[in-house]
Structure 1
Amino acid sequence: MLGGSALVAAPSATPPSPRSAVPAPSPLIVGDGRTVRLISLGGDRTDGLLTRIGGDIGAAVAAVEKFWGTDWDREIVVIATGSQQDFLTQAGLDPRGQWQDIAAVSVAEQVDFAHHRASGQRMVFAPGAVAMSDQALRIVLTHELFHLAARADTALDAPRWLVEGVADFVARPPTPLPPGAAADTALPADADLDAAGPQRVHGYDRAWWFARFVADTYGVDGLRRLYTEACGPGHGDFATAVHRALNTDTTELRARWAQWLTG
């Protein structure tokens, strides 16, 4: 099973919107005719979460289409779970894994790369998602929707840090880098995303910063090409992907990355 995940955002001073009081209709029709199926497994609490998601899904589809195009699944399934066990079961996650700070995942049962088709796709929200601010929820929803849209173009062995960084680029509005961002100029790595807690949060942030850097330096089209070359089925190593997508080498890329981090 192939999937991508989004972190639970830090608590916000802005509480969830009152629209959570009324369950969202299902299915919804958004964009150019995509069907959205909303499945609530936690009673009133997850009904309210799906109401909020239903209000934001149209904008999320538009953001993903703007970056990735329109050639992806016409049906979007969103499941809101009321317990951690339901979350692990619906997402098909290993219960021994560190999932406590994950807000949602996007998973598929099977991907047919030859025919550009994924089956059993769904976005599954963890119980903690009900407490997210409206802005944080919109980010997580758009992040997971990008994973769903790019599924048939994302190899099973794609570098996870780039997969997650590009999803955050699509979903998160740019913000100033924090002090000390330039302390580590190494390229991001999958290991940065493995351990729950501050290391994982920082790993997601650095992957996001890298995607922003590529878009700022080589254009949004360059970032999309890099994703295709580095993460697509049959991709080569990262150095080859950088050369093909950005017409540079990793030495020059790292030098520019270090400069970008300094602002």
Structure 2
Amino acid sequence: MAVQRRDAGRKRVRARRTAGAVLAALLLASACAAPGDPARDTATQEIRATLDRRAAAVLNHDPAGYLAALAPKATALRAAQRTELANLADVPLKSWSYELRTVTPHGAGRATADVDLRYRIDGYDRAPVSASRTLELTRDEADGRWYIAADRPGKGASGLLWQQGDIEVVRGSRSLVLGVGRPEAELRGVAETADRAVPAVSAAWPESWARRVVVLVPDTVEGMAGLLGSPVASYRGIAAVTTGEVGGSGRAPGTADRVIVNPQAYAMLGAFGQQVVLTHETAHVATRVHTSPATPVWLSEGFADWAAYRGENRAADLVAPELAEAVRGGEPPAELPVDEDFGFGGDAGRLARAYEGGWMACELIEDRWGAEKLIAFYKAVGGHPGRDGAVEQALHTVLGTTPQEFTASWRDYLAARLG
């Protein structure tokens, strides 16, 4: 089966709330930040000061200052946080801050705070990585300060690499590899492969991007799943994924991207397969600023594969074996892949054909209209205000065709190259 990859950055927000729940949320938000309640305002300011001191301690590599923000009696938390700070010691941090979103008081000097941890790696991140955290806090009557008594991922949030162990840092010429529990030689090999991926992607995508990539290598697939906040079964056969928030504007990413490697699946690939995987994922990093909810998965994944295989001089049926088998068996697809075809945990053949079909669609655009038009098409789709009509309009304005004509041309192209 073809190498499987998936952009894990696509986030779908479901706004299915009852009127009562919405009203309750509004009332709670109002109560948490009510300017007319001096006591509540003071608590918010004091909690923010605690978080600011904690952030400064991280940047200053100050264990005493970091632990000073924790409740003295929270013995287990203090031990865990001491270890986590030590695990971060070699990571070149540019910034580290906490954005306080809500404070919910519980009376008697207790409160819950929802915060966003935001950090950047020096020399690599144009935008910060954001991680949602929920903190339980207590107020000491003696000194009047608020202390953190519990720290856990926010609802639906994933874990953090430094919670899994001591981070080994390997610097490439165009990459930074952060690994936990993996041999240094293995991490250096990942960096060398990522270093080759960056110029390959820049040649395929000449638009402005950081031209550097950060790769995370946890010790196991379980560690990978923990970083993604998803079931382990979803990633056992997946060599790597890219995380990153897809913004609605198409002009700027909401958070920095990370390529996350599944060390077991990645190790099973040969040198060529590893290069394809990291080039594919790096293409997602490069194109993120022009990828939006309007972008169908066949285009984002197809373009990433196009960038990865571009210039490799591989026969189409070797790159798309599942689709070639379907075409030669008289069962070519009738339509371009839909987003649901790219779901993990389902039929492996269907998933492979979806990736291959997206790649062939991008190959068709390059062959018939040229690489510049393919890039313009990608940007036009991502710049549309919503999914409805995005592909249709870009096909018309950039390529001068219609969805029906393009689909027919794609089917003919499959037959010509794979038949």
User: Which category of TM-score, normalised to the shorter sequence, fits these structures?
Assistant: 0.7 to 0.9
Corresponding residue of 2:342: 193
- 316, 320, 328: which one aligns with 1:176: 316
Instruction: Please list, as runs of the form range in 1=range in 2, the aligned pairs for 1:78-89 lying within 5 A after superposition.
Output: 78-89=215-226
Residue pair 2:250, 2:290 contacting (<8 A) in 1 also: no
- Residue 241 (structure 1) shift: 1.8
The answer as to 2:412 corresponding to 1:259 is yes
Q: 1:141, 1:86 → 2: CA distance? A: 19
- 170, 174, 178: which one aligns with 1:39: 178
Q: 1:64, 1:171 → 2: CA distance? A: 7
Aligned residues between the structures = 235
The answer as to 2:171 corresponding to 1:27 is yes
Q: 1:106, 1:76 → 2: CA distance? A: 11
Corresponding residue of 1:33: none
- 398, 402, 406: which one aligns with 1:245: 398
> Which letter does structure 1 place at the counterpart of 2:380?
E
Corresponding residue of 1:107: 243
After superposition, the CA RMSD in angstroms is 2.5
Corresponding residue of 1:124: 260
Q: 2:364, 2:248 → 1: CA distance? A: 32
Larger Cα-atom Rg: 2
Once the two structures are overlaid, the 10-residue window that deviates more, 211-220 or 110-119, is 110-119
The C-alpha deviation readout for 1:58-107, integer Å capped at 9, x for no partner, is 321111111212511254211112212210122x2422773332211111
Corresponding residue of 1:162: 299
Residue pair 1:60, 1:141 contacting (<8 A) in 2 also: yes
> Which letter does structure 1 place at the counterpart of 2:394?
A
Residue pair 2:225, 2:232 contacting (<8 A) in 1 also: no
Q: SS at the partner of 1:54?
A: helix
Identity of aligned residues (%): 24
- 385, 390, 398: which one aligns with 1:234: 385
Change (3 A) 1:97 1:247: farther
**TM-score normalised to structure 2 length:** 0.51
Q: Which has the higher contact order (CA 8 A, sep 6+)?
A: 1
The C-alpha deviation readout for 1:144-175, integer Å capped at 9, x for no partner, is 00101111111034211211011000002342
- Which runs of no fewer than 5 residues in structure 2 stay unpaired? 1-5, 9-167, 318-323
Corresponding residue of 1:11: none
**TM-score normalised to structure 1 length:** 0.79
